[in-house]
Amino acid sequence: MGMRAGARLGNGAAYLILALFSVLTVYPILWVFLGSFKETNEFYNHIWGLPASLNWDNYVRAWEMAQIGTRMVNSVIVTVSALAILLVVSTTAAYALSRLRFPGVTVLYALFLASMMIPSETTVIPLFLTVKEMGLLNTRLALILTYAAGGLAFSIVTLHAFLKSIPHEPEEAALVDGANRLQVFAHVILPLVRPALATVVIIQGMHFWNEFFLALIFVRDVALQTLPLGMTQFFFQYTSDWTLYFAALSIVTAPVIALFVAMQRQFVDGLTAGAVKG
């Protein structure tokens, strides 16, 4: 009985800690969302209270004044295009590294692992010179290519670990039935790695959506700017009107939250599946 009581107490403490962390994580987001509906005077007078009414005018003004429409289109184009390139390259590379035997495969995989330890800031100058030499400065393509290339190492390592947990029998059966490697990859492997793909999409998609530094360096034209650049400029222009800024933040973060909610089950499966050999 004593051991059971101790176990219950331990579980209760664990649940309490998790609940506390959940509140600390969710409350700032909820506070920003609720604050976006307040009038400016109401926000300063009742900063922690609920809004007296839903003031949608903040959203209309934020959308127009921060040029969110144009910048959101740019962010969507850059993020989706970079993810498409990243998924095609990383899935095929991870499949080759995990399934095919060729000279240098271990060294190549070790290089991808090692590249994850290189601070991205150290590559900015050569990256800028390369983009300039290619004539891609002040274009969306500069962001698309650099984002996709920057996410390759993490994506390949993640997919490689997941593929290692998948048994070879389904592939061997397909090969015996006359399928070639491309058919096996498309019809056998891809359906099995969906959880890992969801993990890559969420983590890299959030990074691409929120990336600021490279966008600041490569893009100068206002018509080509992504949301992080626009939000930074908007913040410095309207630092006294927090309700307006909160409305803009709520609009910008909504797509990321929706993506995570839609793919959270696959995200968790992708993170845990590679940890235990199936």
Average of per-residue pLDDT across 171-189: 87
How confident is the model at residue 278, as a pLDDT? 42
Domain chopping of the chain, boundaries: 67-273
How confident is the model at residue 169, as a pLDDT? 87
Q: Is the pLDDT of residue 272 over 70?
A: no
H/E element, 82? helix 68-99
Q: Is the pLDDT of residue 149 over 90?
A: yes
Find, among 167, 7, 198, the residue nearest to 91 by Cα.
Answer: 198
Residue 11, token pair as written in the block? 């579980």
The answer regarding whether domain 67-273 maps to CATH 1.10.3720.10 reads: yes
Q: Is the pLDDT of residue 212 over 80?
A: yes
CA distances for 263 relative to 23, 62, 199, 227, 260, angstroms: 22, 29, 8, 23, 5
Q: Is the pLDDT of residue 277 over 50?
A: no
Torsion of CA 45, 50, 25, 151, to 10 degrees: -90
230-252 residue pLDDT tens: 999 888 887 678 899 999 999 99
Q: Residue 7: which pLDDT band, with cuts at 50, 70 and 90?
A: low
Average of per-residue pLDDT across 17-34: 89
Cβ count within 10 A of residue 70: 15
Q: Is the pLDDT of residue 271 over 80?
A: no
Q: Is the pLDDT of residue 208 over 90?
A: yes
**What value, to the nearest 5°, has the Cα angle with vertex 110 and ends 91 and 153?**
40
